[in-house]
Amino acid sequence: MKKNNRDDRFFNKLRKKEFSRLDKAGHVYLDYTGGCLYPQCLLDKHHKYLAKAVYGNPHSINPASVLSSEMIAEARKKVIDFFNATDYYCIFTANATAALQIVGECYPFSSEGIFLLTADNHNSVNGIREYCQAKGGQVIYSPMKEKDLSIHETILQKHLQTFAEYKNKLFAFPAQSNVSGTRHALSWVSKAKDNGWDVLLDAAAFAPTSKLDLSYWRPDFVPISFYKIFGYPTGIGCLLVRKEIFHKLKKPWFAGGTIMLSAVRHQGRFLKSDHERFENGTVNYLDIPAIGNGLDFISKIGMENINRRVKDLSALILSNIKTLRHGNGQPILKLYGPDHEENRGGTFLMNFTDVHGRYYLPGDIEALANRNMISLRTGCFCNPGIDETNHAIHEDLLKTYFLGREQGDYDDMTQFMGRIRGAVRLSIGLATTQKDIEKFLLFAGSFRDKENKKIQFVPERHTTSTGIDI
């Protein structure tokens, strides 16, 4: 890694000032894709905000309500400005999942509709297929390449060009995988739109460390979770909806705050015509203003600086993973996804292997990391498509498993399939330092030349149901 000493000094100073609790506790935090850490200044600013005035439910015109409405409007404008999204409505939600539920519930799926999505998607996106299928629509997954977990371009291009006769077509993909860190080209937005698709771009894992300019890329629906960008507050996200397509979302019910008028003796109602149509009930008016503070904090650091920092640290991780080997030459870590920093974010997916190349159970690795005060994450990370690709879980095997029982869990599935499921994920962010990475590498190196008594199968290369090698 070519070290940028200026950046290193800046971020080390930031760590000491805003995240000193990490070093006081001897804590190595490597779960930024799960949730960014909040800087101390955001707590201080929001505490002062809450203490200085009286704020009320915004669904009124009394002084306390008006003040809350003004603060919410200011935060909404900062979101729009941050993503250069003047052609979008910003709908505040509880998180990115709640934002995606709006799309699933309100998109006009029908027997003339289709939902196309990449195999690399979070379950909150995968779940939209239930709405589509319930309304008679078709659901199609486009596969990934096993080598680097990128989109299989030839197949996806064919999918985008095939369904011209369908009326309502929704295509969904992540700008960055929440599991492997793989960056998927944003040019797929325009390619899909050129073929008549509406586009849902999941930016939840991308936005924390990369600039997203919606005036340039122009997807139709973009879910965001703010705690993944700056840590505080949790419990607030948004759905950015392009104004030109806003009318396409058909809300199937109404609630307080979403209507202009409703009646009981005649069951009529008039929905609001902007973002408020989808903000059910009372929004989190005490915490939404804190979003503005968080975006100001990120803007002051500079998203370009954060992105460069993550790339530099990613290069350090990747170069060292390649050198971590047992005495017999076997790698200690099996890395999935891109092996260079150019086509990835700061999220790394791996399995630990013993001296014979056999996998350790991810949960066992996490338990050992916990003892070393290292916070990482294990499992399938709400993204089954990635795990099925990495561990050669075929469609027929999955079908047999799901149709053969009414309920199941991780242990039941692994016992049935006779192979490992899941992996270890570490992810870095703006508070990560080189020392954090060195501590993780020291931890990984402690497995050198050790033997795993719990034998697991190693995946083999496989093909898709279409017979195409991925």
pLDDT, one tens digit per residue, over 205-258 is 999 999 999 999 999 999 999 999 999 999 999 999 999 999 999 999 999 999
Question: Is the same domain home to 148 and 215?
Answer: yes
Residue 456: per-residue pLDDT:
56
**Model confidence pLDDT, tens digit, residues 153-187:** 999 999 999 999 999 999 999 999 999 999 999 99
> Cβ distance 330 to 353 under 8 Å?
yes
Is the entire prediction scored with pTM above 0.85? yes
Residue 293, domain member (yes or no): yes
Asked about 382 being catalytic, the answer comes back as yes
Please write the tens of the pLDDT for every residue from 300-312.
Answer: 999 999 999 999 9
Answer yes or no: do 143 and 278 share one domain.
Answer: yes
Q: Are residues 357 and 335 in the same domain?
A: yes
Domain span at 54: 46-299
- 417 assigned to some structural domain: yes
Assign 309 to helix, strand or coil.
helix
DSSP H stretches of helix in 29-186: 40-52, 63-82, 96-106, 123-126, 128-134, 153-162
**DSSP E strands, 226-316:** 237-242, 259-262, 269-271
Whether the predicted pLDDT of 20 surpasses 90: yes
User: Which of these is catalytic: 41, 106, 238, 382?
Assistant: 382
Supply the CATH number for residue 250's domain.
3.40.640.10
Considering Cα of 466, then 100, then 400, then 411, what sign does the dihedral take?
A: positive
Residue 320 pLDDT greater than 80, yes or no: yes
The mean pLDDT of 85-113, rounded to a whole number, is: 97
Average pLDDT of every residue of the chain: 93
**Do residue 206 and residue 140 come from a single domain?**
yes
Read off the tokens for 65: 């309500």
Is 407 contained in some domain?
yes
Q: Do 179 and 313 share a domain, yes or no?
A: no
Q: Where do the DSSP E strands lie in 175-229?
A: 198-202, 221-225
Q: Check whether residue 82 and residue 133 sit in a common domain.
A: yes
Q: What is the rounded average pLDDT of the residues 377-403?
A: 89
Residues 383 and 252 in one domain: no
pLDDT tens for each residue of 60-72: 999 999 999 999 9
Q: Are residues 348 and 278 in the same domain?
A: no
| Final residue before a domain boundary, out of 272, 299, 326 | 299
pLDDT digits (tens, 9 = 90+) for 262-300: 999 999 899 999 999 999 999 999 999 999 999 999 999
What total number of domains does the chain contain? 2
What DSSP designation does 107 have?
Answer: S
What pLDDT score was predicted for residue 59?
92
Residue pLDDT, tens place only, 178-205? 999 999 999 999 999 999 999 999 999 9
Q: Do 342 and 246 sit in the same domain of this protein?
A: no
Check whether 465 has a pLDDT greater than 60.
Answer: no
| Token pair belonging to 247 | 């009318």
Looking at the fold, whether 82 and 67 belong to one and the same domain comes out as yes
- Quick one: pLDDT band at residue 149, thresholds 50, 70, 90? very high
DSSP string, 381-450: TT-HHHHHHHTT--HHHHHHHHHT-S---HHHHHHHHTS---EEEEE--TT--HHHHHHHHHHHHTTTT-
Q: Would you say residue 60 lies in a domain?
A: yes
Domain closes at, from 264, 282, 299: 299
Residue 462 lies inside a defined structural domain of this protein: no
User: Is residue 261 situated within a structural domain?
Assistant: yes
CATH number of domain containing 415:
3.90.1150.10
Q: Are residues 340 and 272 in the same domain?
A: no
Residues 311 and 286 in one domain: no
| pLDDT over threshold 50, residue 460 | no
pLDDT at residue 1 tops 70: no
pLDDT at 84 over 90: yes
With respect to residue 35, please indicate whether it lies within any of the assigned structural domains.
no
